[in-house]
Amino acid sequence: MSTPSRKVVITAFGDLSTLSVVKSTIPDPPKDHVQVRTFYSGFSGTDINMRLGRYPMQKKAPFTPGYSLVGKVLKNGPGCSQFRLGDIVACLTVYDAQSDYANLPQRYLIPVPDGTDLQQATALIADWSTAYGLAINTGRVSSGQKVFVHGISGAVGYATMVLCQSRGAEVYGTCSEKNFAAIKKLGATPFAYTDKNWIQSLQSLGGADLVFDPLGFESWDESYSILSPTGHLLGYGGNLATLTGQAERSVLWPTIKLLARNLSFCWKKTTFFYITRDSTSFRPDLEKMFEMQRKGEITVPIKAVFDMENIKTAHESWSKATGLGSFLVKVSDP
């Protein structure tokens, strides 16, 4: 039996004209799948890159975007009994979250504990899980380290800052000057990315122990230059061209170049990070952060929430909005 549903569709790769919200239907969930009514979908630079056709190994258009969601279980497909109807669940979907309903593999659904703020929970799934994987699992940040975070006022950048500070690190980073005051109030030291003063400043301090860089290309070279003699660069994303309006470029050569430096006789190193729901650490890390949010140990700032019908405004606002934290798309009322 099919159910009427609205969904966002990227009809082709390109500008905002390729975005539309359409009426469709969704079939009952197949074997080992659960149908979820979406409350909130995450929204990030991934959405922009997918619309432009720049996301690594992405689907061909047309498709429905939405990398993560929080919603309510509506139907269990054959072979599914883990969740009751009405249970609130989270999922790193990769696609299809910007839709009234989604049929999702049961094995990727994670219960959202009672008392968890649902907007904050949505941001935890991709934005904060990425930061946790970067800072805690891969970077292994520790007390007394100097850490540099590009995009420190953004979703992943903010989360990385908070998690590093929670381990006793001293945090520096780049962001828009309109967010300097807010970042200083939180105890970090902000720099403007464009004037490059951050390079000399960090070098004069002896370099950073960890640098988190989602920009790629020339930025990875600059970030490598501010590492301490034993520093660790963690690259993820590749958003420089998207943010600056440059033509699409491949990150393959910049990636190979930095990995080749790992083979040289020095203590600096580079690691490239990619979040995946198949990681053995993904579920326990997210469950841990749900509990931290529920107990008030972390607060997840939400920069803006856009109704799904206003998806073009979300895309327009991604690199322009003032404030700290994550963007969300509201699909339906909880």
Q: What's the confidence (pLDDT) of residue 256?
A: 78
Q: How far apart are CA 119 and CA 101, in angstroms?
A: 18
State the average pLDDT for the chain.
Answer: 94
Asked whether the beta carbons of 73 and 89 are under 8 A apart, the reply is yes
pLDDT at 244: 63
The Cα angle at residue 194 between residues 315 and 134, in degrees rounded to 5:
65
Q: What is the radius of gyration, based on Cα positions, of the chain?
A: 20
For the stretch 64-84, pLDDT in tens is 999 999 999 999 999 999 999
Give the contacts of 105 (CB within 8 A, at least 6 positions apart).
Answer: 32, 33, 34
Q: Is the pLDDT of residue 237 over 90?
A: no
pLDDT of residue 241: 65
Helices (H) and strands (E) in the chain, counts: 11, 15
How much of the chain is helix, strand and coil, in % rounded to 5? Answer: 35, 30, 40
Give per-residue pLDDT as tens, 268-309.
999 999 999 999 999 999 999 999 999 999 999 999 999 999
Rounded to whole angstroms, the Cα distance separating 99 from 101 reads 5
Tokens 């993904």, located at residue: 282
Handedness of CA 84, 85, 86, 89 (dihedral sign): positive
Q: Is the peptide bond before 62 cis (omega within 30 degrees of 0)?
A: yes
159/37 Cα distance (integer angstroms): 27
Alpha helices in the chain (DSSP H): 45-52, 118-123, 129-132, 155-166, 180-185, 197-204, 218-225, 240-244, 252-261, 282-294, 311-317
The pLDDT, as a whole number, for residue 259 is: 81
Q: Can you read off the two tokens belonging to residue 154?
A: 């953004």
- The stretch 224-242 carries a mean pLDDT of 88
Q: Give the model confidence (pLDDT) of 9-64 as tens digits.
A: 999 999 999 999 999 999 999 999 999 999 999 999 999 999 999 898 899 999 99
pLDDT category, 93, cuts 50, 70, 90? very high
What is the distance between the alpha carbons of residues 231 and 194, in angstroms, rounded to a whole number? 23
- pTM equals 0.94
CB 188 within 8 A of CB 161: yes
**Alpha carbon distance 298, 231 (integer Å):** 27
Beta bridge partners, 129, equal none
Q: How far apart are CA 157 and CA 172, in angstroms?
A: 11
Residue bearing tokens 């929430």: 305
The mean per-residue pLDDT over the stretch 124-140 comes to 98
